[in-house]
Structure 1
């Protein structure tokens, strides 16, 4: 089997995109700001490495599942959840913007008692739910800063 570095880097970048909970606009903004291009298919292996480095700065960690330890949500995912929650609060869609209220919301959604105990998969579910809520309320653009 031929080793295809470029294809493997693209796959890893797309895993990072999912793990960090990036929507397509934010993902393409990261590509553009890092390489000047908006599609991973157009990038050289060196440019793909640069994008991967940027995603690591945002909290992505390349992980192996050999340990059997449950993968907890990254700091970037936690920050994005808090950011979305506060956007909804400032837009008047959430009555209480506190951490306690956010923890109750998370517990009702994914049966986890606090943000720090979310798995990456549960964090993705919460992020997607909050993003859909933001879209319904007209809060379209969500940016993620490192």
Structure 2
């Protein structure tokens, strides 16, 4: 019994061959009688391509190619012209924020194309410079990321504690409040400051370890 995937593959092969044969007929300028006679000659009398077996269709294709028929690959699409990188203040700020979020682990793709896709979803334009209020796009990026930073901040806090690094707070939530006591702890700025505080601690720990190693 023929399996479904195998039968599907054979059907696709037949459809491809029939399409090639029809293209070959037009390319070679075959009239109706000549075309039907060719099918019959390669299939013991069958005069319709849909009645031929896969092997018989391949014989017809081979005959057409021997007669000068060649399939032409479609021309590849013209590559999109690279857009000059915008150096305006708002675009630079957005790009720096996008790259920082990639470093944090929230943005998976740090490319300009990925940033442009975010701008397109939020502002309906392909480039931040074309947005009516680019500051609103940046603010939207901060609001979106603030929903995800607490989870990655907590995970980093736990990893540092497990590594024996002294942070001085019992949890990532208390750290946010301690670093930015006057800010809303769920705001982007407060969360970013807490992350940067952990950066500072890790840098200090790495420096101390290097000094200790050099003195041994």
TM-score (norm 1): 0.43
Higher-Rg structure is 2
Which structure is higher in RCO with an 8 Å CA cutoff and minimum separation 6? 1
TM-score (norm 2): 0.33
